[in-house]
Amino acid sequence: MKKPYYLFNPGRLSRKDNTLKFTPVDEAGNEGQPRHLPIESVEELYVFGALDVNSAVLNFLGQESICVHFFNYYEHYTGSFMPRDYLLAGKVQIAQTRAYTEAKRRMPIARSLLDGAAANMLRVLRYYGYRERDLGLPIAAIEDLRQRLPDAKTSSELMGIEGNIRQNYYQAFDEIILDYDMGGRSKRPPKNEVNAMISYGNMLCYTQCLKQIYHTQLNPTISFLHEPGYRRYSLALDLAEIFKPVLVDRLVFSLLNKKIIQANDFRWELNKCLLKESGARNFAKYWDERMNETIQHRSLNKKVSYKHLIRLECYKLTKHVLNDGEYKPFKMWW
């Protein structure tokens, strides 16, 4: 089975026949024991340390349709190496563009995406609300805001509601997470442990969405909820909205509350809090497990993995833009 590889150490990546060879190189320039990654086992690469690559290795990755995501020293996503689109379909491309340019077609999709995101946030809160935490207020506030989605006329109005929903949602985190305070969402930079975890998890979610889009005919730069161009691959942001509560937030709660990630997994710098390599590795490990976990899909009558749920979302969007079925967002049903 293919799996993602996370390269935390600095080093050099080269091609050796049909494998990728990763040679760690320390600060003094000493080479460590190389690791060979058989190409057929590589789903994608996450690069956190300094990496030397040459065009031979990039051509090889391109030919195998493997994406590489780069992060800086602050675990901040800096960009991706996306191989040439290999599934281009003119008809989908045109239909997707039309669905974006015509406001009366764009708005329903944007609204559905946000409605899906809100439903999933509520699901997460209700789950924890049952566990004797008082989450009645944020739940009521989000429900109220969700009612206003149909009235939003423009995407900036929608994004305004989105901001309010998120604010209420994040307020509930301090009830759910036992030993840490979040005190609201701080992104750049993350100000405490919880924010560091969420930023990191959101990036993993974004790149996963990007990868799933890449393996379909959708164009990742044409989005409906976020303005295209806000970030290069704004459709990945659209999809991530739906999946972040289900995939990232629940994982953050459990990693912190079960003390799988602890105080010594974080590092502090001036005004920011970041995961140490130990924490980032551990998070990635549990993230991968979660991605491969399966649930019984209701319409497909079979088990599908969490990451496949994202692919399925892409299929539904494709069908929607082709007028081959109305898009209904994924809403957690368990």
Partner 1 sequence: MQVTATIIAYFHTCLRKMYLHHHGIRMEHTSDVVYEGKLIGESTYEDRAAKNTQLELDGIKIDYYDAKTKTVHETKKSDKMEHAHEAQVLYYLYVLQRNGIEGASGIIEYPTLRQRKHIDFDPERDVPIIEGWLQEIEQILEQEQCPPVINKSICKSCSYYDYCYVAEEIEN
Give binding residues for Mn(2+) as ranges: 162, 226, 241
Q: Are 91 and 322 in contact (CB under 8 A)?
A: yes
Of the candidates 56, 64, 73, 88, which one interacts with partner 1 according to CB under 8 A? Answer: 88
Residues in 204-233 that interact with partner 1 by CB under 8 A:
215, 217
Of the candidates 42, 45, 68, 119, which one interacts with partner 1 according to CB under 8 A? Answer: 119
Region near partner 1 per CB under 8 A, out of 133-141, 166-174, 231-239, 321-329: 321-329
Kindly state whether residue 299 participates in binding partner 1, applying the rule CB under 8 A: yes
**β-strands 302-305, 294-297: how paired?**
antiparallel
Q: How far is the CB of 330 from partner 1 (least distance, A)?
A: 6
Q: How far apart are CA 151 and CA 21, in angstroms?
A: 55
Indicate if the alpha-carbon torsion angle 26, 29, 31, 37 is positive or negative. positive
Q: How far is the CB of 331 from partner 1 (least distance, A)?
A: 5
Indicate if the alpha-carbon torsion angle 63, 239, 91, 216 is positive or negative. positive
Q: Torsions phi, psi of 329, nearest 5?
A: -70, 155
| 281 Cβ neighbours under 8 A, 6+ residues apart | 6, 8
Is residue 321 left, alpha or beta, with left meaning phi > 0 and alpha meaning psi from -120 to 50?
A: alpha
Kindly state whether residue 39 participates in binding partner 1, applying the rule CB under 8 A: no
Region near partner 1 per CB under 8 A, out of 11-19, 31-39, 72-80, 298-306: 298-306
Of the candidates 87, 103, 140, 263, which one interacts with partner 1 according to CB under 8 A? Answer: 87
Angle between helices 234-243 and 306-321 (to 10 degrees): 120
Closest CB to partner 1 among residues 73, 333 = 333
Instruction: Tally helices (H) and strands (E) across the chain.
Output: 10, 12
Region near partner 1 per CB under 8 A, out of 45-53, 149-157, 160-168, 300-308: 300-308
Closest CB to partner 1 among residues 129, 279 = 129
Kindly state whether residue 296 participates in binding partner 1, applying the rule CB under 8 A: no
Closest CB to partner 1 among residues 19, 65 = 65
Kindly state whether residue 330 participates in binding partner 1, applying the rule CB under 8 A: yes
Q: Give the DSSP letter string of 222-277.
A: --SSSPTTSSTTHHHHHHHHHHIIIIIIHHHHHHHHTTSS-GGGEEEETTEEEE-H
Of the candidates 2, 3, 36, 91, which one interacts with partner 1 according to CB under 8 A? Answer: 91
Residue numbering of the annotated binding site? 162, 226, 241
Closest CB to partner 1 among residues 197, 314 = 314
Angle between helices 90-101 and 103-129 (to 10 degrees): 90
Give the count of residues interacting with partner 1 (CB under 8 A). 32
Q: Judge residue 49's burial from the number of C-beta atoms within 10 Å of its C-beta, 0-12 exposed, 13-18 middle, 19 or more buried.
A: middle
Q: How far is the CB of 89 from partner 1 (least distance, A)?
A: 3
Residue type for 232, please?
R
Counting every residue, how long is the chain?
A: 334
x/- track of binding to partner 1 for residues 250-269 (CB under 8 A): --------------------
List the one residue out of 226, 232, 239 whose CA is nearest residue 70: 232
Kindly state whether residue 35 participates in binding partner 1, applying the rule CB under 8 A: no
Q: How far is the CB of 124 from partner 1 (least distance, A)?
A: 13
Q: Which chain residues interact with partner 1 by CB under 8 A?
A: 86-92, 119, 123, 215, 217, 297-300, 304, 308, 311-312, 315-316, 318-319, 322-325, 328-331, 333
